[in-house]
Amino acid sequence: MQHFPVFMAVKGRRIVVSGGGDAALAKLRLLLKTEARIEVYAPEAEPEVEHWAAEGRLSLYRRPIEAADLMGAVLAYGADEDDLLDARLAALATETRVPHNIVDNLEDSAFITPAIVDRDPVVVAIGTEGAAPVLARSIKADLEARLPSSLGLLTRVGRSFRQAAERLPFGRRRREFWAEYYASIGPQAHAKGGEQAVAPALAQLLADHLTASPSKGHVDFVGAGPGDPDLLTVRARRALDGADVVIHDRLVTPAILDLARREALIVDAGKEGFGPSTPQAEIDALIVRHARKGRHVVRLKAGDPTVFGRLDEEVEAVEAAGISFAIVPGITAASAAVAAIGQSLTRRGRNASVRLLTGHDVKGFADHDWKALARPGEVAAIYMGKRSARFVQGRLLMHGCDPETPVTVVENASRPEQRVLVTTVSQMEPMMSEARLDGPALTFIGLAPRAAQAAVRNLAQEAVS
Ligand code: SAH
């Protein structure tokens, strides 16, 4: 982001505009929506500007702008449509330290004016860093159509109830009240009875919510997928939107946590406050404790919560506490990793079953039916398989696996740092150790990347070197 959006306090403060032609007119139409004091400096001005001056909506000075005019102003616009005059304004503004905008000149401007959707006090500002004004206009048109014109009025009435609504407990119950007002009760009252019907409807709604029985907590066990926010389910996004508390794994990416409701409490159950790895019993207790306070808890787990996620222990704790819960499935690492290499997990004539294995469990390296796994054509996806690679390799070879059986490791599947390593059972160690895999990695036994194999191999080697 080269420009940071902010909303500036301009009430009663001075905004100066140099120029009185078309460019100035366009900016003035926007500026006149504010409660700032507008001053226009122009030897000649369009009749509309003269008209606004006569109405007292702005002050018009029929002369060029001077440094003294800029002193103490909050913003300055150079709208003379003349390079020399623009450069002069920029110099004066720099000298007097007033942020300036030269109309249609991104490079020489200290700030830019966004496209605006105005439902005062709800204001949406849209910017594209000057790169795509056409896109900004089409986004603006979409939003204009989506935001009801009564929104400004509803918000103003809502604002006058802010204090009264504080009688509802902070969090889910207060949020549900406001959501119902903006989504249904408010617009309905306005449509039926006009402006004066809105406040009584809101008062009634508040009374209803105050007498309703306090809501019980709820826990959603949500799959966050492999890391790319685009691979979240719609239901997962909805759960994140409504969460009071998000308790997440170490593997959940910041881009996904960013989607949680802004006010949500975010708890990292992988580390932080709990030492390097939080004991399972503590996580169970943490979930129950937050839900008991009547909160909507999202327990966010990497991939699919039902795959190597210790889900059952958490579900049992929640059930035992009499708290309602739901499981929202996610895309598991094996699905994302196999997509990355253009293969499928099962294939007619090759393998009619696929195994999801863990490299190690709580007791150490996990044991499996090695004999079955060593058979030609078998496909296995190994989770948490970095440290156990040599153990897996040894067991497979011991049970007669063809040393040339393909092995593919996908690190950081679906993320920008994704890497693919292509090897064989006989080579997987030392190759995997040498590759210094820092991110989560999934190992496929019996699968090589499709077609562009050679290219992928080069990539892997580059990444390793
Ligand atoms: N519930 C998760 C798995 C948790 S176990 C799921 O369904 O994916 C953690 C292991 O998952 C990691 O050690 C790694 O093997 C795998 N994993 C998770 N995210 C991954 C990713 N983006 N790329 C590769 N492997 C990943």
Q: Is 271 a catalytic residue?
A: yes
CB 126 within 8 A of CB 117: yes
Instruction: In whole angstroms, give the CA distance from residue 57 to residue 29.
Output: 11
| pLDDT at position 134 | 86
| pLDDT at position 276 | 61
179 CA → ligand 1 middle, Å: 36
In a mutational test of the pocket of ligand 1, which residue from 256, 383, 437 has the highest number of ligand atoms less than 8 Å from its CB?
383
Contacts (Cβ under 8 Å, ≥6 apart) of 364: none
DSSP per residue, 285-344 = HHHHHHHHTT-EEEEEESB-TTSSS-HHHHHHHHHHTT-EEEEE----HHHHHHHHTT--
| pLDDT at position 272 | 43
Longest dimension (CA), the chain: 95
Q: Which atom of ligand 1 is nearest to the CA of 305?
A: 1
Instruction: In whole angstroms, give the CA distance from residue 181 to residue 185.
Output: 5
pTM (2 d.p.): 0.61
CB 50 within 8 A of CB 44: no
334 CA → ligand 1 middle, Å: 8
- Give 452's strand partners: none
Q: Which atom of ligand 1 is nearest to the CA of 413?
A: 23
Residue nearest to atom 24 of ligand 1 (CA): 441
146 CA → ligand 1 middle, Å: 39
CB 336 within 8 A of CB 231: yes
| pLDDT at position 355 | 95
Per annotation, catalytic residue among 33, 216, 271, 371: 271
In a mutational test of the pocket of ligand 1, which residue from 360, 384, 421 has the highest number of ligand atoms less than 8 Å from its CB?
384
Instruction: In whole angstroms, give the CA distance from residue 273 to residue 271.
Output: 6
CA 355 to chain centre: 33
pLDDT digits (tens, 9 = 90+) for 21-53: 999 999 999 999 999 999 999 999 999 999 999
343 CA → ligand 1 middle, Å: 18
Which residue segments constitute the domains of the chain, with CATH numbers given?
14-113 (3.40.50.720), 151-211 (no CATH), 218-331 (3.40.1010.10), 334-457 (3.30.950.10)
Q: Dig out the tokens for 153 from the structure.
A: 């009025």
| pLDDT at position 462 | 47
Q: Which atom of ligand 1 is nearest to the CA of 412?
A: 23
| pLDDT at position 418 | 97
Q: Which residue has the tokens 């994140």?
A: 240
215 CA → ligand 1 middle, Å: 35
At residue 235, φ and ψ (nearest 5 deg) are -70, -35
Residue nearest to atom 16 of ligand 1 (CA): 383
In a mutational test of the pocket of ligand 1, which residue from 221, 248, 251, 388 has the highest number of ligand atoms less than 8 Å from its CB?
251
Instruction: In whole angstroms, give the CA distance from residue 132 to residue 105.
Output: 14
CB 219 within 8 A of CB 322: no
For the sheet with 354-358, list strands across it.
354-358, 379-383, 441-445, 406-411, 419-424
CB 394 within 8 A of CB 428: no
411 CA → ligand 1 middle, Å: 9
Per annotation, catalytic residue among 69, 249, 284, 304: 249
Q: Which atom of ligand 1 is nearest to the CA of 306?
A: 1
| Mean of the per-residue pLDDT values of the chain | 91
Q: If residue 195 lies in a helix (H) or strand (E), which one and from where to where?
A: helix 195-211
β-bridge pairing 419-424 and 406-411: antiparallel
- What is the DSSP-derived secondary structure letter of residue 447? -
The pocket around ligand 1, CB under 6 angstroms, is made up of 226-227, 251, 301-304, 307-309, 332-333, 337, 383-384, 410, 412-415, 440-442
pLDDT along the chain (465 residues), means of 10: 94 97 95 96 96 96 96 97 96 96 93 91 90 87 84 92 89 84 87 91 91 80 96 94 94 94 90 61 90 92 95 93 93 98 94 92 83 94 94 95 97 96 96 95 96 51 46
| pLDDT at position 133 | 81
Crossing angle of helices 195-211 and 186-193, in 10° steps, is 140
- Going from the C-alpha of 20 to that of each of 65, 113, 233, 386, the distances in angstroms are 12, 18, 52, 69
CB 240 within 8 A of CB 261: yes
332 CA → ligand 1 middle, Å: 7
